[in-house]
Amino acid sequence: MNEQTAEQQPLVVVPEAEGVAALSTAGVRAVVVAPDADVPAEARGASVLVVGPAESAAEVEAALAQVAQLPDLKLLVSLGQGSEQWGDLPMSVSIATARGAHGGSTAEWVVAAVLAQLRLLPEHLEAQREHRWGGRQARTLMRSEVLVLGAGDLGENVRARLLPFGASVTVAARSARDGVVSMEAARELLGSTDVLVVVLPLTDATRHVVDAELLAALPDGALVVNAGRGPLVDTSALLAELQSGRLLAALDVTDPEPLPADHPLWDAPGLLLTPHVAGNTEGAGERAWTQVAEQVSAYARGERPPNLVR
């Protein structure tokens, strides 16, 4: 089989110069078009569009505007792991993600957040600021019962990082499989769950999956950790539990997001809050482009991209 000439290679629109280098051996031609720019005439024959994580409405709108300017578009590849924001994408366009790029770093945040809350680090930081020596007995991950909702790349990374601490970790997904229980079975475990970690993808079925009823089933003192998407958790229901002092929480994502300055979550007792930075670590961009290059290379060979979600 003869190799394609440069002119015959698929044309790919990328949002930054780093993408040109990342795709240099992918068997494609790459052209840089800024995410908020119109697609120039010479790039409108592109069959692949690479976009950023698009975690804001403005970013999604800008990407869809570029999609509308690419009549031959066949594949959209995201530098993020989520795909729920692409519901308005034409069905003729397939979607692949950078799944595998951010799972490890986000799972590290989960471990850090869980340990910080169980070992009372926020309290100790406050005591340090007040020059006050002393403290109460903390909890430990050893022999804790951890329930992880979400069995994708992130869920498996969370399990792998928590097990060495001596915790018992159960991972749940929509359907049971080897090493994974169903969501229905997971609900039967809530009463003995010390730490609930939420890393599900956001869909119509998972929106507010952590609602007032589910939270009420957790024992007093349980810790709720959300590193997936903000709307997976009913904010009002969680806020009520925090304000009552019954539960603890650690959130890297919120609903709404960004969190308004006057939102009551900022001052909720028992809450550790970070501004959607769990995956924002050194090397994140390089890892994402490595995954994107794998998707684009498969497409160029006429194969199914391994991270195809639609």
Q: How far apart are CA 256 and CA 47, in angstroms?
A: 34
Asked if 102 is an active-site residue, the reply is no
From the candidates 99, 102, 161, 229, which is the catalytic residue?
229
From the candidates 99, 161, 276, 287, which is the catalytic residue?
276
Question: What is the number of other CB atoms lying within 10 angstroms of the CB of residue 141?
Answer: 21
Do 40 and 13 touch, CB atoms closer than 8 A? Answer: no
| CA count, 13 A, side-chain hemisphere, 221 | 9
- Give the distance, in angstroms, between the CA of residue 43 and the centroid of all CA atoms in the same chain: 30
Residue 242, burial from CB neighbour count under 10 angstroms (0-12, 13-18, 19+): buried
SS3 for 158-224 is HHHHHHHHCCEEEEEECCCECCEEEHHHHHCCHHHCCEEEECCCCCCCCCCCECHHHHHHCCCCCEE
Asked if 131 is an active-site residue, the reply is no
Residues assigned a catalytic role: 229, 276
